[in-house]
Structure 1
Amino acid sequence: MRKLIVALTLLAGSLSWQVSAESTLTFNKEIGPLVLNGSEVATDIFSSPSKLTLEAGTNQVLFALGQLVVEDGRRTKFNSVPFILRFSAPTDDVVLSYQPFRTMEEAKKFDHDPRFVLKSASGEMIPFQLESLHVNGMQGMKNYEKAVQKYNQKGTGIAVLSTEQLAPVGKPSVKPKTVNAASSQRAILEAGFNDLSAQEQQAFMMWAMKNLKNAS
């Protein structure tokens, strides 16, 4: 009986350590995660999750920044190029932030020289590798997961995540919530359509009508 109690105590301690070893990555509200460790992050039409659960060890995140700025006296939304980030997760939670800008000129400078801060909940600065990743395709119809896969396969970037660093097969890993592929594609399309200008929306609608599939 005593051996059983000791075994259960050790098991409970092991499980509690595994739970505590998990950490989360929290984003500024202007930052939208796109891909985490090779898997697309589930989003809805209006927003992206502000917090993700990290793997123990090395993590890779693709994200983009969207912020309202002033241009020619009017408020407009600036959408950055996607950035790919690699870092080693600590045992406590992590926050990714940046210093907000005010004008479109400042935003464009930031796009070419991004200044992000990655800090743990205890205040420790977390070292990371970051660079921009240009993804082909129309806004709202880009395959970010495939772009990250190609980036890692190429292997020349500073934030590459090798296959050895991914969670091994058979090991349960914490991943973003999965959604139905069709609904996910529709959500991405609708979100991208809302970001287009009036002229771009009209051009897209004309293209869509020309390529409309038969319902039968």
Structure 2
Amino acid sequence: MSQSATPSRPTSVAPVRRRGVCLVISAPSGAGKSTIANALRASEPQLLHSVSVTTRQPRPGESDGVHYHFRSMDEFNRMAETGEMLEWATVFGRGYGTPRAPVEQALADGRDMVFDIDWQGHRQIREALPDDVISLFVLPPSIEELERRLNGRASDEADEIARRMQAARDEISHWNEFDHVIINSDLDQAIAEARAVLVAARLERHRQVGLIDLVASFGV
């Protein structure tokens, strides 16, 4: 009696490894994006912080390569023109940007990176790394609450608060360019929701290198 042939299966399959994630968090000033990003960094050992390039002078206690990569404006412009930065901008005559090489290396090594940047930086990074970016926009519970938070910053004068409120409205107008949106009415809940976004991004099929071979080894 003949037996039906069983499909051949590989005796061993290389372990599935994961490509890293770029988690971009954007929000108007006062909505809590830096607090959320810092909380994630503190609790997630695989989450790296990108050291930015800047043309401003170092402040007391700052070290090159630790707090920033301090560069001249000529060098900054050269890096931007040659594609060595993922995103960059000039703010009040000072250049700020994200160097490309460390980010690409981290992603290849399966390490995740978090960026707390504005909507323009999000656009640039998504254009440069379209398959690696997961973005999150943080909203305050209301415009009144946002103004209250900004008023609570004793270091800001009234005209500075007014400027920040206008900038906040401009930032909020780009909310629908992001993959996920959370409302930060409770900080602990907002941090938990941001972490859930990161965990889900890590499990996306295309980020798990070798997953197709593993599934094929099951004979399906």
Give the alignment's TM-score, normalised by structure 2. 0.28
With CA pairs under 8 Å and 6+ residues apart, which has the higher RCO, 1 or 2? Answer: 2
- Which structure has greater helix proportion? 2
Structure 1 length-normalised TM: 0.28
- Which structure has the greater CA radius of gyration? 2
